[in-house]
Chains A and B, each alone.
Chain A
């Protein structure tokens, strides 16, 4: 045991690699967990990826080690630490969704995905920071302070799941769970040089995920490699009778799909559709350049690159910013100071109506209030048809565009975000500019199709990560893992290393990197 060096090595492992070491009992879950807790202690003061660190992680790890010693048959990720987005309910940790109104709230139940993690013997490390109620693209809207991008601490880690992406990018955890309503998994992946997958709507249970917009939300994996995402997806996916929108598909092994893709080395016969509307004007030059290179690389590997047009996508952001606030305004009504969460009594007391209003005024941040008021407006008498009703029709048009595009292509690709990470504070005072960050990711949520963000290199102008998005038809998540793993392998071959290995090891001094 060389102490520091061995621990550093442990945190650099992918989940798949760590899994193999755990299975061969070369490394214990306690060692792996301790290494990550040490890493969190070391860097999280600067990154602020976590809102809460589990007090039980080492105990849970010891139990897994014990079970393994007893010869128990364990799943592939048993003993691997994982960070959990604070939007997910956990019995043993506060679940705040990044909001003051839920500060300190410990739910009396686990989200289905959390139960699945526990059953598969992963080690929950803690809860990760996020934009309040997942409303944002920068994690600056967290009530508990922003998360910093490990590539540049002055920059945003994306949002809303900036905490999960940063935790993985900063090697504080090999795996994390995120949730994606309009890009909250994929956009942070793009700007932190990590991998994020939004499954087909209904592919992963929403039970216990604090709802933002019920018809858009989807829980998914946040990792450093495509295979790790697939392994985690295999654990959390599948039908849940507690979620009416949960699909009953019998899903193939995504890990298998990723391994097949990584080994293929070729994209022969794969039709890759380039979505015209999700590129070009408004996209950072370095992002567009890396995207063009990725397309060349895929073409060179035998993919047939086709241009597809999806005219209705032009209306996607508008529809999204009607549907999301409308559903959110209703979903967030339950935060009323009666059954859980904050209660604020107005000066001099008041009726329950006054107390509810004062609590919501004090407990919600500016962005949440903005969207609740917007959603209340969109649903109110006289405006419903023009706004919410029209947005639901746009949704149909977007689905039709996807259907037509998937006639011509097996997967669709675009940049996963229009720009690299912007500076903290840069867009905070301009909500509309902030909303435009999700232009590439929103259509998939509106149509319910799966999408993945994965690294496609650093932008020349700022040396920051860029990401490519791969989308497939609904139910075809395995196709994304196959194509994604192939592309990941091709890119890493062309670079000679993984992108994340070039991430600064903040705050380790120069020369102390692995």
Chain B
């Protein structure tokens, strides 16, 4: 992965207009897979499972096996299409996309080609500057996920240089909806932010529909980002690259920024962009070339003869339309209102892509203020240090439990941060971490009083000042007491007790 020449971002934007396009894959959280009754590892509460334990003959593509469509996946796909403002096709069809790859059990993927279930919609995306950007949706189509490869040997654990690979087909056949945007122009310098905001908006939609767990770090939601540069004012389209499987909101933003800078540098130097697939590397913050597009990409699509056309009735479509959750803008207003956030506070949550997290945390019992504080504060800070999305660190349920412990006075903020660290380190739920690390606030006044008395005795000058009514002098006592208590005391209570002891002694 050689580090490419990059042009300054502002300079790049002076010279070129970025043209974007996204393909977002959403894993549906149905109980079973798209075409087989095997349990779905992307279902609520499910996990990847032990290798090859969630498979039927269909998932393995065994000779003679046949696919049968999951009705719930159809309903979810229609709901998603409607939420994206799409037309639902009166007739849609599955097709086979033929290519050989060891994670693809049949060596064809059942997908949709020229007759997708949903087409022509739009998503309104809010930017930090308060403007709304409309992203047009070309289509949303159903398909199946592939199995999971593990590359063994070689230096990197990556595909290049591996000695061999291992295949687990548990994920093979997980229902996917692929959402494809039309070409996005006019984003200009907001392009990286728009990219993140768009994926975040899709995430909000699928979560509010309840059709996907939408955990990007688990691959429930994956983004392929297309980008090309057009010389400003030329009206000519550039050659695009497609960066695959960008698996966090943060990476989506960084990928776009990086590709703009990389392509601009090449074009400005008189070079040409190669139409290719690229891969995003989180560690180095760069993309590297994958496979050039070639005639090997002749997928030989044809109608899947083992499956029949999907023709949803008007009644079904209207039933699903009526059951749609409120539109995103309405939802945002409602949440802002009910949480009592200021414009700034609410915008902070939305722009951090944490609306879903805060909402789920409040639903799990935290106060809105605590939920916002933890997500946009300490958790976001830790995520930034670790270069991951906040949502990948900790679950809303755990944050809510933490917030409840703070609100009830069982934890101080300082202790709560330690508990959070423990939760992130995988030591268990907040309650378990409190237990294991012994991090409870000491609410035993006896122990506090003993420590306070010790501290007052060792600093008689301070004791005098307090008795003289200089209450702020108590601060000099709080420090040593908290230290003696290993931080596990409520500072407000300590202060209260200091004043009480100072005036009762002597």
Contacts and interface: CB of A to CB of B under 8 A. Distances in A.
Taking the complex as a whole, does A directly touch B, i.e. does some CB pair lie under 8 Å apart?
Answer: yes
Interface of A: 88-89, 95, 97, 102, 105, 107-109, 111, 206-211, 213-215, 241-245, 326-327, 329-330, 333-336, 338-340, 352-353, 356, 376, 379-381, 384, 388
B66 A334 contact: no
15 contacts: A207-B64, A213-B305, A244-B67, A244-B69, A244-B307, A326-B302, A329-B98, A334-B63, A334-B105, A334-B107, A338-B102, A339-B60, A339-B62, A379-B300, A379-B301
Contacts of B300: 329-330, 376, 379-381, 384
Task: Give the secondary structure class of A's interface.
Answer: loop
B308 A338 contact: no
Contacts of A88: 64
B31 interface: no
B4 interface: no
B167 A102 contact: no
A108 B64 contact: no
By Cβ-Cβ distance, the 8 closest A-B pairs, closest first, are A333-B107, A379-B300, A214-B305, A215-B305, A208-B64, A210-B63, A89-B64, A334-B61
Contact of A107 (B62, B100, B298, B308): B62
A109 B56 CA distance: 10
A339 B308 contact: no
B426 interface: no
Interface residues of B, number: 30
B113 to A, nearest CB: 11
B38 to A, nearest CB: 13
Contact of A108 (B62, B98, B108): B62
Contact of A380 (B57, B61, B64, B298): B298
B102 A340 contact: no
Given A244-B308, A339-B60, A340-B63, A330 B68 contact: no
Contacts of B169: 339
B57 A108 contact: yes
Given A206-B66, A244-B308, A352-B102, A388 B167 contact: no
Given A89-B62, A107-B57, 15 more contacts: A95-B64, A108-B62, A206-B64, A207-B64, A207-B66, A211-B64, A244-B67, A244-B306, A245-B305, A326-B302, A330-B96, A333-B98, A333-B106, A334-B63, A334-B107
Contacts of A335: 63
B165 interface: yes
A336 B298 contact: no
A358 to B, nearest CB: 13
Given A107-B63, A244-B66, A330 B100 contact: no
Nearest to B306: A214
A245 B102 CA distance: 28
Given A334-B107, A379-B300, A209 B100 contact: no
B64 A333 contact: no
Nearest to B295: A381
A210 B69 CA distance: 20
A370 to B, nearest CB: 17
Contacts of B107: 333-334, 336
A215 B65 CA distance: 14
A95 B57 contact: no
A209 B308 contact: no
Interface string B19-57: 000000000000000000000000000000000000001
Interface string B295-316: 0001011100111100000000
A99 B173 CA distance: 27
In the complex, which of the residues B63, B67, B68, B96 has the most CB atoms of chain A within 10 Å of its own CB atom? B63
